Amino acid sequence: MAFEIPEYDNFQYLNATEELSRGRYGTGTLLVYDEHLDKHFVAKRLTKKDRESYERQILAYCQVSDNPLFVKFFGKLPSSTTCFQFVLEYVAEGNLSNLVVKKVGLPDSASKCIVKQVRSMQGVS
């Protein structure tokens, strides 16, 4: 990766409160609470095997992080021997698919298509 990924400085204050999603091989997302900031965030985990995906996602988050329409990237967490982790803004309303279905009223198949298109624009599968 050509740029330095910012670190999340308050990692020692983070406590996992809920598993939001679980992927393959120990990947997934956790709702975490930062005791120092009194705020919830999302910690995303990817295996070391997914280094390419991790780098693509970090690059995409960093490129759009200043845009209020996208989830804000707060930094990487110290890596373990098996996974990469990073901290994102927590959006209480849920994911894009849920928002589109509930607020706009699109059929599930149409919202899945929109989510797929947004991910492909970010280079994330």
Phi, psi of 90 (to 5 degrees): -95, 125
Q: What are the tokens at 37?
A: 């900031």
Predicted TM-score (pTM) of this structure: 0.70
Nearest to 58 by CA among 115, 125, 122: 122
Top-confidence range, 1-15, 29-43, 83-97, 110-124: 29-43
Token pair, residue 20, equals 């939001």
**Whole-angstrom distance, CA of residue 73 vs CA of residue 25:** 23
The pLDDT-based confidence of 125 (bands split at 50, 70, 90) is: very low
Q: Which residues on adjacent β-strands are paired with residue 45?
A: 28, 85
Specify the CATH architecture of the domain 1-91.
2-Layer Sandwich (3.30)
Q: Answer whether residue 99 shows pLDDT above 50.
A: yes
- The pLDDT of residue 58 is 84
Of 36-40, 48-52, 82-86, 99-103, least confident by mean pLDDT is 99-103
Domains of the chain by residue range: 1-91, 93-125
